[in-house]
Structure 1
Amino acid sequence: MKFHEFKISGKNLTPAKAKPFETITPWAAKLWPLPILLLATLVRLYGSTASAIWCDEGSSLLMSQYSPSLIWIHSAHDVHPPLYFLLLHIWIGAFGDSLFSIRFLSVLTGIGTVGLGMWLVYQVATRHAAIVAGVLMALLPIAVRYSQEVRMYSLMGLWLLGATLALVYWVRKPERHRYLVIYVLLMTASFYTHYFTGLCALSHWAYLTVVRSEKRRLVTLPAWWVANSFIAMLYAPWIPGLIDLLQHLDQLRAGGDIGWIEPITMASLPSTLWQYLTLSDAQNLRWPLYLALPLALVLVTGAVCLRDRSPYKFNVLLAIYAFLPLIVVFVVSWKVPLLVERYLMFSALGLPMILAIAIDQLRRHFRYAAVAMLVTVLTVELVGLHNDYQTDDEQFDKLVNYVNENYQANDRIVVSDLFWYFSYVYYNKTGSVPLLYTPPRADGTSGRPGDYGFGTLVNSDADRVYLDSLEMLPLGQTRVWLVSNSAPPDDFASIPGNWNKVSTLKVGDTQVRLYTLRRQ
């Protein structure tokens, strides 16, 4: 079905309902998604290079520098599957590693996600609803933020919305197996992008257990089981690496790659919904206002589902897609903290689609109420975009550029933590390989990273990169730059007595100190 054809539950609308668009001119009526995609593009491009590369982005860039075969090996030791890193490797080879270029890959997938969201709503509701959904998705703060990062979350959203759209087509015509083929490919791609894809798969299974087609539950159809078997087979090459990773959780925990997520409270659930729409947990608000937005989202979703009289209950699919992953992660997090809003960005995309359908339904009977609801949602989103565009002038790249400008031949650069190390490597223009400070732990064990988690990216260069003690620098060394957190305690607690501090530059929560070394 062409994108401009207008259907609800597989039935063509009457010309009278399509008339407002047809009076524009037929060709213009077909181009209505373009202004929305342009809006999505502008919103994502604006400020996309304003913030400095941070640790996770730096790790993506370091991973992408390996060959495809080594990316497969190293990502098996990392906490994310390899597909995004492979695509980033190809992208950088074609377009370079400028800040604009490396983030533009996520911008593109974010724009594609908006297009798929409009297409999905167009299939399950009306053109008016699809237009509103497109605008709300274009401005959705969490989607904008992670369309501006060198990470896999925007790509994951693209795969999973595409898979959900393919599922809608298949549900309408289960005999059309080509839709399941598309579904298999998109779900497999997403599984190779992020492990939380399993939550979307759970949502699809949950939906199919409640929907019927010709008095049969679609979840029982052999074609559905065969399709999921193919997903499992295509994912099988990655299973040994995943099992190996799970067997080394202690190393990941020791290195801080897992275990850093804060324990949840009862406030975590509503706060996550606030994060989706405003990029703030909103816990500074009075409790009636704090609970108002989450409660409104739940009530609107419930109303949209109850008003769904179609045989396929696609509104229920959107509700499950948006809320079930969050609920599952919230419950599991009482045992093992996993609740991080960016991991669930894909399911947050369901909220603007649900809200758009609700606004469209309200418009038919209470036009002014629909306008008020739309203005309210847009206002909340604009607050979130304002929060997203706020950047600190004192950013890490300023510190690295200071070193680049004042570096002298044979200077050595020592970074105190992996959190800063990956970002430093990206901005470093001196030609000198930065050293990573790895002093022994308090119990005497090695402070070097393990082979799993971030450590996999630097362990192969351990002899060139790790510095267990400042006294181990070569005797002929005359100047050393120390990069660390600016807040106490000092990461470099023990400075050799023959070191003389020349200068200090503090940038945000980091600092760089230049020392000259006197011969003893």
Structure 2
Amino acid sequence: MAFRREPQLLGTAEPGIALRLTRDTQRLIALLRAYWLPPILLLAAATRFYNLTAAAIWGDEGSSLLLSRYGLSDLWVHAAHDVHPPLYFMLLRGWIALFGDGIFAIRSFSAWPGIVCVGLGVWLVAQIASRRAAVLAGFLLALLPTAVRYSQEVRMYALLGVWLLGATIALVYWVRQPRRQRYLVYYTLLMSAAFYTHYFTALCVLAHWSYLLLLRLHATPPSRAINRPAWWLANAAIVMLFAPWLPGLVDLLQHIDQLKASGDVGWEPSVDFSSLPSMIWQLLTQDDGETRSPLLFAGLPLLVLGVAGMLAWRDRSPWRWHWLLVIYTALPLLLVFAVSFVSPVFIERYLTAYALGLPLIFAIAVDQLLAQARVLALAILLLFGGAEVVGLNNNATVDSNDQISVLVDYVNQRYVAGDRIVTSDLLWYLSYVYYNRTDAQPLLYTPPTSAGVSTRPNAYGFGTLIDQQADRVYLDRLSALPVGSGRVWLIGTADQPDEFAPLPAHWRKTGEFTAGGVTARLLLMCGTVQGQASAKALCSQPGKPAG
């Protein structure tokens, strides 16, 4: 009897278990639908905080830190001589006052805006597409390699993304509800903040105006947005809010020759027609793709072009929101590429805020294709996601033991009071001063040319950061070094051993260490060293080479 009843008991139990499992699954799905944003933001945080401190502070980051040390009035003046507006550096100054200048703290100031950008991207897509597209956009944007990379540097690129995405969202709200003037107020404030963060904000202005002009070609109520006086007043207000900075910008433009002479502008590599597809590769994989086969090298950019073109072509909504997204992403890229044939400025980090649109475009396209061509949609998703994974892996391949920070720590541990430290390049100097833990003032070697022309940086670009300390920092001749302990640390590029040549004849090398592409050489000023038998023995060897 028991044997016969067992199937009956199982038969009555299984539906109940299945029903409970179904209800639990439904509750889980409902919970995820209600709280789908936190997992996306957690993923964004994980990718941005992972290996946050692995790479050492490099020259551009060092310049941010030096500029943020000035008081606000002096910072305003020196930022006017730099190639970027002052807002980021002012905010960084406040951040450091609260959290200190440790590498984790200062890079967190970029990581948090990077996470906010992901949330804003989700918000934007939720306004112009489906919830599924918004969720997908969030995950893809959380993994975007160029966004992750520049959320891990002490520079303004992640913050710029916050302002520009926020302004684009405000524009969407206003176009949809033009009588709600508060959205234009938000737009004005966000765009003004963006202009005070980076000059490439002008590209976003062109994108927004281009969208509204194209919208005007269609006989729908939203098409008249550009005709509204409120839009013109908002743009006039942006100009007025930026006006206090215009004298500094004009002065900077008038001294463009000094910026070129100091290497702060004009260093960018020239472009050719392969530079555009190479940029797409860099944004998505952190690799220029030029070592790939021609078919593969062209394939990824063509995929991006095809998906963006399809999304814009199929948009028949009254507001043409997909046009806005495609224009925001593509127009800056194409304009900077075209301009770079005259004056090269085609650099990945300058365009990162606009590349944030790429995952949003792909998410909406995949969402639309899922209903009609599921296999194609999944293939596109896998290709785009696969490229991002490759890029994240490339970002993560940082050898923390082969960084300039390791080299500076080597010098810090072996430093003797009275040692002199001389760097060969301004970028090395900017990195070195952050990690320096000695009481020595690092110096910058600025030997005159053979014609007697000074090579000291001028008062523009990075030079403005140390121009007021010129007499304490610049060293025109190695022979002019005070004796001190009789020891000199020369910090130079690893593969350029002649940067300090010719060395004084009585100097002898006693040690060398290389890390992060930089070499530290310890030399003795023979004839001045006292009390060290080993040093005297080294100096007593005639003809001992110094390099």
Does the aligned pair in 2 maintain the 1:209–1:217 contact within 8 Å? Answer: no
Shift of 1:27: 5.9
Q: Residue 488 of structure 2 aligns to a residue in which SS?
A: strand
Q: Residue 217 of structure 1 aligns to a residue in which SS?
A: helix
Q: Which amino acid aligns with 1:229?
A: A
Q: Which amino acid aligns with 1:51?
A: A
Which whole-Å CA distance do the structure 2 matches of 1:475 and 1:97 have between them?
A: 33
Deviates more, 1:471-480 or 1:397-406: 471-480
Q: Which residue of 2 aligns with 1:190?
A: 194
Q: Which residue of 1 aligns with 2:342?
A: 335
Q: Residue 512 of structure 1 aligns to a residue in which SS?
A: strand
Candidates 120, 137, 150, aligned match of 1:116: 120
Q: Which amino acid aligns with 1:228?
A: N
Shift of 1:475: 4.1
Candidates 403, 425, 430, aligned match of 1:422: 430
Which whole-Å CA distance do the structure 1 matches of 2:236 and 2:461 have between them?
A: 30
Alignment of 1:23-172 (within 5 A): 24=28, 28-172=32-176
Which whole-Å CA distance do the structure 1 matches of 2:375 and 2:338 have between them?
A: 39
TM-score with structure 1 setting the length: 0.94
Q: Which residue of 2 aligns with 1:511?
A: 519
Which whole-Å CA distance do the structure 1 matches of 2:32 and 2:515 have between them?
A: 51
Shift of 1:432: 1.4
Q: Which amino acid aligns with 1:350?
A: G
Shift of 1:24: 4.5
User: Closer, same or farther in 2 for the Cα pair 1:288/1:391, shift >3 Å?
Assistant: same
**Residue 259 of structure 1 pairs with residue 263 of structure 2:** no
Q: Which residue of 2 aligns with 1:5?
A: none
Candidates 468, 476, 488, aligned match of 1:468: 476
Question: Which runs of structure 1 show a deviation greater than 6 angstroms over 4 or more consecutive aligned residues?
Answer: none
Q: Which amino acid aligns with 1:140?
A: L
Q: Which residue of 1 aligns with 2:505?
A: 497
Q: Which residue of 2 aligns with 1:351?
A: 358
Aligned pair count reads 501
Which whole-Å CA distance do the structure 2 matches of 1:475 and 1:483 have between them?
A: 18
Deviations 1:414-469 (A, max 9, x none): 11110100000000000211011111123311111100001000011111111110
Q: Which residue of 1 aligns with 2:459?
A: 451
Which whole-Å CA distance do the structure 1 matches of 2:229 and 2:34 have between them?
A: 38
**Residue 236 of structure 1 pairs with residue 243 of structure 2:** yes
Q: Which amino acid aligns with 2:109?
A: L
Does the aligned pair in 2 maintain the 1:322–1:348 contact within 8 Å? Answer: yes
What is the Cα-based RMSD across aligned positions, in Å? 1.5
Structure 1 unmatched runs, 5+: 1-19
Candidates 389, 397, 418, aligned match of 1:390: 397
**Residue 269 of structure 1 pairs with residue 276 of structure 2:** yes
Q: Which residue of 2 aligns with 1:312?
A: 319
Shift of 1:476: 4.5
**Residue 326 of structure 1 pairs with residue 330 of structure 2:** no
Does the aligned pair in 2 maintain the 1:440–1:468 contact within 8 Å? Answer: yes
- Same amino acid, percent of matched pairs: 54
User: Closer, same or farther in 2 for the Cα pair 1:378/1:26, shift >3 Å?
Assistant: closer
Q: Residue 185 of structure 2 aligns to a residue in which SS?
A: helix
TM-score with structure 2 setting the length: 0.89
Which whole-Å CA distance do the structure 2 matches of 1:332 and 1:85 have between them?
A: 28
Q: Which residue of 1 aligns with 2:229?
A: 222
Which whole-Å CA distance do the structure 2 matches of 1:476 and 1:63 have between them?
A: 30
Q: Residue 149 of structure 1 aligns to a residue in which SS?
A: coil
Deviates more, 1:291-300 or 1:315-324: 291-300
Does the aligned pair in 2 maintain the 1:63–1:85 contact within 8 Å? Answer: yes
Which whole-Å CA distance do the structure 2 matches of 1:48 and 1:305 have between them?
A: 37
Which whole-Å CA distance do the structure 2 matches of 1:406 and 1:168 have between them?
A: 59
Larger radius of gyration between Structure 1 and Structure 2: 2
Shift of 1:369: 2.9
Q: Residue 56 of structure 2 aligns to a residue in which SS?
A: coil
Does the aligned pair in 2 maintain the 1:210–1:217 contact within 8 Å? Answer: no
Which whole-Å CA distance do the structure 1 matches of 2:497 and 2:486 have between them?
A: 26
Structure 2 unmatched runs, 5+: 1-23, 529-547
Which whole-Å CA distance do the structure 2 matches of 1:79 and 1:295 have between them?
A: 34
Deviates more, 1:164-173 or 1:363-372: 363-372
Which whole-Å CA distance do the structure 1 matches of 2:87 and 2:69 have between them?
A: 14
Does the aligned pair in 2 maintain the 1:55–1:422 contact within 8 Å? Answer: yes
Candidates 487, 501, 515, aligned match of 2:495: 487
Q: Which residue of 1 aligns with 2:381?
A: 374
**Residue 402 of structure 1 pairs with residue 404 of structure 2:** no
Does the aligned pair in 1 maintain the 2:407–2:516 contact within 8 Å? Answer: no
Which whole-Å CA distance do the structure 1 matches of 2:54 and 2:223 have between them?
A: 53
